[in-house]
Each structure stands twice: as structure tokens, then as C-alpha cells.
Amino acid sequence: MAWRTLCRAALRSPTDLGVSNVKGFGTAGTLWRRAAPLGPMPNDDVDLNDPEAQKRYDSFTRYLKVAEEAKNKKAWWRTYRQHLKEENRDEDAPLVNIGLASRRQSRKEQVKERNRVMRENRRNPELEKATRLLTFSIPLDRVKAEWERTAGPYHLHNVARHYAVYRDLFPGAYFLPRVMLRIAYGNSPGTHVHYGNHVTPTEALAAPHVNYESDPDALWTLLLTSPDEHLHDNEGEYVHWLVGNIPGDAVHLGEELCQYLPPLPVKGTGFHRFIFILFKQDGPIKFQEDRRPAPFHNLNQRTFKTLEFYRAHQDSMTPAGLAFFQSQWDDSVSQTFHGLLNMKEPVFEFVWPPVYHPPQKLYPHRQPLRYLDRYREGHVPTYGIY
């Protein structure tokens, strides 16, 4: 009965209700109808009732040609790609190369060089003998050196673009890492820094050993920064290490402008990027404004912008090397916050309290079989079946 009364009230016209400006169900139904398209829709000329009468291509080449013509034909609607292009106009702008000047070999020159090496290998009797006796070995050091000289910088550039290194540090610009950095936090291979590998904060407590090829008279600047760590500014960075006026590859003889600070990936924020950038200097630079006193343990004063630092010295330095690693929270981060920075550790993850267990009974009556598992000593307790 109540449902019938409700339906009658809903179907009454606005004039019956004494209101003249209320839309009825007829108006709502009209607004719900889809408007006619502004032009012909795709495949409107296809008769689905008579598929045998449709045009046959007879070959894939002919079909591909027709498909390309249909793809290039201008339509009255906007595609999803066009919508994205309008929203991301700034990202589609051409990037400026701010790195060292270089020239990449053409495809023709690469093929010519490869054919020359193959001809020399075929004429080498010692190489033929080692291949026949199955004693031939490939020197991996030479392969790596050749990769670093030819295709390595372009591969590393693609990896850095994938990890948004240029977008966050040098908006609107990029550079090819022509100088290969060899960075190690320890002797084991797992502590070496490559291009996006994982290094724990415990392994990176002390400053790493940095090596690269350089002329003894050249001057360099080494920077370690993190674009993901800042606690108050999403666009800000924390500088972890800054050394300027490095003679050759002797980083320890350079002018330490900012003391080394271990990684600080806050708990609950996932992996953070820590990026090493090597700048080649045209000559000695005076870094009065970039110098931090040592020991320097104030996190607020470590706020940094790589782009502003480069703009201040762009006439005297050029980015030449790049390496970075990722790091996630561990127990050493808490010790760095409390002991080194003397501040409370921010946590963005809920820490569950331990499970409460009532005092153990000497004679547990009518308890589960694994009752004693609740009170066993161990780092990870087993709670059994309850």
C-alpha cells in the first residue's frame, strides 16, 4: 500500500502539485537521450546484414595500404592521443641538450666499422685456431669499454628518462652521460651504484668511493641529491654531498662544500632515488654561496635545487656524468634521525602494537593444544591456533 501511494505521488504532474517550475519525468527522459553525432561514425557504410557483399582486399599488403589511408584521413572527432597532447603540451616541447658536445656515428659508419673488424678477424690465424680448439674467450673488459665509448651514454640516457631524472632535476633539458662513474659503498658487488639498483641505507652510511677517467689537469664537481626526500616541498631536494674543484679523479682532494649525509628514505614512503651528477668545470669556481659549514646536521638548511645550482654556474660547468641508486627505509634511518640530526623521525606507516596475551597459566585448563606457543621466546612469535 505504501509503495502504491509513493508511485502515484511520483507520477503526478507539476501542475497537480501546485508548482510550475518543476521538471517532470518527460523532461528528464529527453535529457537522457544521446545527441546525434556531429559527423559520420566509423563503419556507418558497412552493411552487417550482407557480409558477402563487402569489399575484399585479397592480400595483406592491399589491406595495410587501405588501413594507412584510413588512419591518415582527418576525422571530425578528437582521438585520445590528441586529448593527451593538449593536456601535456609542456612535456612534448623539445628538450635542450646541456651536456658535452658530441657526435654520434651514423648507421653507415657503424656498418663500415663492423665489416672492417670482421675482415680482420677472418684473417687472424690465432683467432681461427682458438675458435677451432674451443679455447677462445671473449674479454669482457674490452666489451664493456667499447660499450661505454659507443652506445653506453645513449642507453643510460634512456634509463634516466625512464626514472624521470631529467624531468625532476633539469626540467626542459637533458644531457648524455659521457663520463662513466664507478661508485662503490663497499667491496661487495651489491654495494656498487649503477643505474637504479637497490642500495640499503645501512650500506650507504659512509661516503662512497668514486672513480672516473679524467685528465690530471681537469676540474670537476660532484653532487649527490635526492628529489624524493623533502618533507615539506614536493619540488624540493635534499643535498647529501657536494664536492667542488676536484683535481682529476681525486675526489678526496676536492673542496667539500657540503658534508656527506646518509640516505633518509622515510618509513612508509617506498623507494627514493639518490642521484650522483658529475659536472666538468672550465676552471676554478668560487662556491661561497653553496658552502655549508661542517659538521652540518641541519636538515632544513640542506634544501637544494639542482636546476638553480646549475643556473648559477652554467657558464663555468657542464654536466658530464650520471649514476643513481634507489633506497628504502631500514633501522639505520631511525638512528640517523635521532643520533645525527637530533630530531623526531617522521613515519608515514602505521606501526601495529604487539598482540596482547594474558598472563600464562600454570595449569591451562580447556586451552588449545598450541597454548604454549603464545609465550615462547623468539624474535618472531608463533601464535598458534585460537
Task: Indicate the pairing of strand 272-281 with strand 317-327.
Answer: antiparallel
Q: Are residues 199 and 298 in the same domain?
A: yes
Tally of domains in the chain: 2
Say what the pLDDT of residue 28 is.
47
Provide the CATH number for the domain around residue 227.
3.90.280.10
pLDDT digits (tens, 9 = 90+) for 244-284: 999 999 999 999 999 999 999 999 999 999 999 999 999 99
Question: Is 281 within 8 Å of 252 (Cβ atoms)?
Answer: no
Question: Is 43 within 8 Å of 75 (Cβ atoms)?
Answer: no
Question: Is 202 within 8 Å of 330 (Cβ atoms)?
Answer: yes
Quickly state the pLDDT bin for 243 (edges 50, 70, 90): very high
Contacts of 105 (CB under 8 A, 6+ apart): 113, 150
Classify residue 345 as exposed, middle or buried by CB count within 10 Å of its CB (0-12, 13-18, 19+): middle
**Buried b / exposed e across 273-305, counting CB within 10 Å, b at 16+?**
bbbbbbbbbeeebebeebebeeebeebeebebb
Q: Are residues 248 and 286 in the same domain?
A: yes
Say what the pLDDT of residue 7 is.
52
CA–CA distance, 177 with 97 (Å, rounded to integer):
11
C-alpha dist (Å) from residue 35 to 29, 30, 76, 135, 360 = 13, 10, 16, 76, 73
With respect to residue 327, please indicate whether it lies within any of the assigned structural domains. yes
How many C-alpha atoms does 87 have within 13 Å on its Cβ side? 7
With respect to residue 245, please indicate whether it lies within any of the assigned structural domains. yes
Say what the pLDDT of residue 153 is.
93
C-alpha gyration radius of the chain: 34
pLDDT over threshold 60, residue 25: no
With respect to residue 147, please indicate whether it lies within any of the assigned structural domains. no
pLDDT over threshold 70, residue 20: no
Give the domain extent around 132.
109-138
Q: What is the phi/psi pair of residue 142, to 5°?
A: -70, -35
Domain C-terminal end among 82, 117, 138:
138
